[in-house]
Amino acid sequence: MELEKYKIDEINHQQMNKHKCQFEYIGADISNIDDVLKKLTAFNITIPSWALGTGGTRFGRFSGGGEPRSLEEKIEDVGVIHALNKSSNSISLHIPWDIPENASSIKALAAHLGLHFDAVNSNTFQDQPDQKLSYKYGSLHHVDRAVRKQAIEHNIEVIKYGVQLNSKALSVWLSDGSNFPGQLNFRNAFQNTLESLQEIYDAMPDDWKVWIEYKPYEPNFYSTTIGDWGQSYLLSSKLGAKASTLVDLGHHLQGANIEQIVSLLLMEGKLAGFHFNDSKYGDDDLTVGSINPYQLFLIFNELVEGMDARGMNHATDLGWMIDASHNVKDPIEDLLQSVQAIKIAYAQALLVDKKELTAAQQNNDVALAQEILQQAYRTDVRPLIAEASLRAGGALNPIDTFRKLSVRDNLIKERGLKAVATGL
């Protein structure tokens, strides 16, 4: 289904007076408001193809109805999200869950909805039904060269699909690791991974990038071969300029200072981008900003500061992607909330008074530095996000509009109550 703009406009119209009041109130306080709005409008966050169905856990999965049954329907759902928030103009595919059988018709559908394809993701953490060798003991790090070769070939195949769709990056997450002490020789596992990645790297087109994701544990619980940002950075440094480190917010041990990691990776030109989500305990894949919005703000503060220091374009020079999926919400509402939370954190970071903060840091004025950051964090920037969305042709309040237009009911009518998305 496709959302008609006039229906969104009608709901905006009903909310316009209240919005105008709120926008004028906050606008009076911000000197560079046009610049902030321009940056907010340009800032888009990629929707992963695997998040459009209801997520599951290893214990169960409770489908919500009207889920997309094909890649085409997943693209249509991203189209709905983008029509509402004007901030989700791309989709990231996971192979083999979402193989584009007919690239040109898939591309045409996406373009019709104002979408393009971001990074493609490989999958060597599961065995596929027609697969010759098993990944039970890992893929790119495997002790057996034949298994490594199979995993390398899969990644090269994913690149080929991506090239057909005009993607420009391959995102690699490995579950490779060990469950028990003694199971692995760490150095050999690392070297095998490096050699395998080098073969994949060499097969990439010149204008492509490879993003190397890390994760400390799960599904392996003793060691992960790319377990932290240092290990990922080591690999991406050895591979070359087209390789960099992808930060997934859920892939850290509790208490890790993610904003500091981000700052240093940016300094070295080795930050690929983000998988956004939130967590209370581990890789919970909860809605972005639902648990710790202050951390998200602090990360964006480092991003804005670090990107500005290198003269980078906030909207296009890093990969911004959601990697969250949960089992009790409507997936489209969940994604709308996530994008909203990201844009709020970004807007707040844009409001930080950099000059004053630098002066406070130089003077060791610790209390003032905190005041400056929290002044920005405690600003209710939602009218700014709404105004940016309105100017781009989206909804003032995307979730509210999604509900008022009964989008899910319409999807259930179209696809049925028992429609289950492919993927996780």
> In the complex, what is the shortest distance from the CB of residue 69 to Mn ion, in angstroms, rounded to a whole number?
24
Using CB atoms within 10 Å of the CB of residue 31, give its burial: 0 to 12 exposed, 13 to 18 middle, 19+ buried: exposed
Site of interaction with Mn ion (CB under 5 A): 248, 275, 323
The nearest distance, CB 213 to Mn ion, in angstroms, is 6
Nearest residue (CB) to Mn ion, 211 versus 377: 211
What's the token pair of residue 322?
């959601």
Q: Which two tokens stand for residue 207?
A: 């204008």
**Closer residue to Mn ion in complex, CB, 39/275:** 275
Contacts of 198 (CB under 8 A, 6+ apart): 239
Q: Using the minimum distance from each CB to Mn ion, give the nearer residue, 94 or 275.
A: 275
Tokens of 76: 């249509």
Nearer to Mn ion, 57 or 105 (CB): 57
Q: What's the rounded Cα separation, in Å, for the pair 424 and 420?
A: 10
Whole-number minimum distance, CB 273 to Mn ion, in Å? 11
106: its two tokens: 């898939």
User: Closest approach of Cβ 285 to Mn ion, in Å?
Assistant: 8
- Minimum separation from the CB atom of position 23 to Mn ion (A): 35
Nearest approach, Cβ of residue 171 and Mn ion (Å): 8
Report, in Å, the least distance between residue 174 CB and Mn ion: 11
Angle at 44 between CA 347 and CA 71, to 5 degrees: 145
Give every strand in the sheet of 90-92, ordered side by side: 47-48, 90-92, 116-117
CA 189 to chain CA mean position, Å:
28
| Residue nearer to Mn ion on the CB measure, 323 or 333 | 323
Q: Taking a C-beta distance cutoff of 8 angstroms, is the pair 234, 214 a contact? A: no
Supply the minimum distance, in Å, between the C-beta of residue 349 and Mn ion.
22
Per-residue CA distances from 310 to 42, 60, 305, 314, 377 (Å): 19, 45, 9, 11, 24
Pairing of strands 177-178, 120-121: unpaired
Query: To the nearest whole angstrom, how small is the minimum distance from the Cβ of residue 118 to Mn ion?
Result: 13
Q: Name the residue nearer to Mn ion (CB basis): 200 or 249.
A: 249
Residue among 98 and 323 whose Cβ is closer to Mn ion: 323
Residue pair 113/82 in contact by the 8 Å Cβ criterion: yes
Nearer to Mn ion, 88 or 325 (CB): 325
Do residues 140 and 124 touch, judged by C-beta distance below 8 A? yes
Nearest CB to Mn ion, comparing residues 123 and 340: 123
* DSSP track, 210-266: EEEE--SSSS-SSEETT-SHHHHHHHHHHH-TTEEEEEETTSS-TT--HHHHHHHHH
